Amino acid sequence: MHDIYKPMFSIDPKVTYLNHGSFGACPKEVFNSLIDFQRKLEFEPVKHLAHDIYQHLKESRSALSEYVNCHIDDIAFFPNPSTALNTLIRSLDITKGDQILTTNHEYGALDRTWRFISKKRGCEYIKLDVAIPYTDKQLIIDSFKNAINKNTKVIFLSHITSATALILPIKEIIELAKEHNILTIIDGAHAPAQIDLDIKNLDPDFYCGACHKWMCSPKGVAFLYVKKQYQDMLEPLVVSWGYEAEYPSDSQFLDYMQWQGTNDISAYLTIPDTIKFLKKHDWKKKAQHCRALNLWAKNEICTALDTYATGDDQFLGQMTTIAFKLEEPLKEQIDFYTKYKIQLPFIKWNDKTFFRISLQVYNSKEDINYLIKSLLQYRASK
Ligand SMILES: Cc1ncc(COP(=O)(O)O)c(C=O)c1O
């Protein structure tokens, strides 16, 4: 399969690319859609930005909301999950004494956002310890159950964790939060197109996803879903023409979020073409194939290197994080890349070190065999 798909992407053919998870990769066909929109913008900037933009955005929201199953007006575009979640987190009415519950597996930038907010507002930010190897989802559900108290205002949780690559039981935790009137904010940066995403069925209060990772859109497309009843609570991170708008639409949420000053938002407009590409290539089947390759790779790597992964197969999608001894992960990652031309993130998580593989349609068993050979050689040379 990779023989057919690798040439569809622009990725350097000389590099063994095992890091789709960090920034995704965009098929040439979809990238052309980005260039087309940028040409339209340059051809007639006023028509494109001032006259047509809201209709284009509506078409993009329509395609995306159908894809992730939510109402078209409950979703807005942002350039990345950090911006989307900062907009939300800074809008929350949380004060001294309130408690935010999360895990010790959250993405570093958002962990920092919560630390920043808790320092400013005096709220308590509590990270529950989810042990690895992760083998039983009931343990995390129980630790949330035990930690909830009358001060708990928000549960913040990744759908798929970044460093440790684990699919967490968000449906069960959202249900638990509802029983206690606690807001749920789900960081689903890695979910869309890696696993099935049905927002209506999960029913969180807020859900953030990235399109440029596993949906393979051009870079700079993320979204925030906000349940209707909370939309008026959201403040724009950048106050612009949508605030006290001269011609308001029916949605304050969209007015506030959709215009943040002059910007090239062509990438947002490619979403209908991105989804067309995914459907044309039966991406659901492709994701299943990549998951099977990932589970095979996990087993091969752990056996060859005599090491362990962060979780059982049932909690993995197209990524696996594997324990590997490193002294200086970032420096060694560049060193490893320079020696072997393998793009592989080396990670420090708590007091342990790992690498993470991410498998996409352009990867093959040969990539994994080369990775194993290279890691064994690299380890022996240290
Ligand atoms: C769990 C999670 N949240 C958010 C993000 C993305 O955030 P940003 O692109 O805004 O840095 C990532 C990216 O890897 C992630 O893994």
Is the model's pLDDT at 382 over the cut of 90?
Answer: no
In this prediction, residue 1 has a pLDDT band, given cuts at 50, 70 and 90, of confident
85 CA from centroid of ligand 1 (Å): 10
Query: pLDDT band at 251, cuts 50/70/90?
Result: very high
Q: DSSP class of residue 31?
A: H
Whether the domain at 2-18+282-381 and the domain at 30-278 fall into the same CATH topology? no
Q: Is the pLDDT of residue 200 over 90?
A: yes
Q: What pLDDT was estimated at residue 95?
A: 95
- Assigned fold of 30-278: Aspartate Aminotransferase; domain 2 (3.40.640)
Residues within 6 Å of ligand 1 by CB: 22, 80-82, 107, 109-110, 158, 162, 187, 189-190, 210
User: What are the sequence ranges of the domains in the chain?
Assistant: 2-18+282-381, 30-278
Q: CA distances (Å), 213 to each of 20, 125, 135, 219, 229, in order?
A: 7, 28, 26, 8, 29
The whole-angstrom separation of Cα 362 and Cα 1 is 8
pLDDT per position as a tens digit, 160-169: 999 999 999 9
| Phi/psi at 323 (5° precision) | -65, 135
Q: Answer whether 320's CB lies under 8 Å from 299's CB.
A: no
Residue of the nearest CA to atom 5 in ligand 1? 189
The rounded Å distance from CA 380 to ligand 1 centre is: 33
pLDDT for 227 beyond 90: yes
**22 Cα nearest atom in ligand 1:** 14
* Mean pLDDT (the chain, rounded): 97
Rounded CA-CA distance 159/182 in Å is: 17
Give pLDDT tens digits for 114-132.
Answer: 999 999 999 999 999 999 9
Query: If we measure between CA atoms, which residue out of 318, 316, 374 comes closest to residue 343?
Result: 374
- From the CB of residue 264, how many other CB atoms can be counted at a distance below 10 Å? 14
Over range 58-71, report the average pLDDT. Answer: 98
84 CA closest ligand 1 atom index: 10
pTM, whole model, 2 decimals? 0.98
pLDDT of residue 2: 84
pLDDT level of residue 219 (50, 70, 90 thresholds): very high
**CATH class of domain segment(s) 2-18+282-381:** alpha beta
Closest C-alpha to ligand 1, atom 13: 22
pLDDT digits (tens, 9 = 90+) for 259-273: 999 999 999 999 999
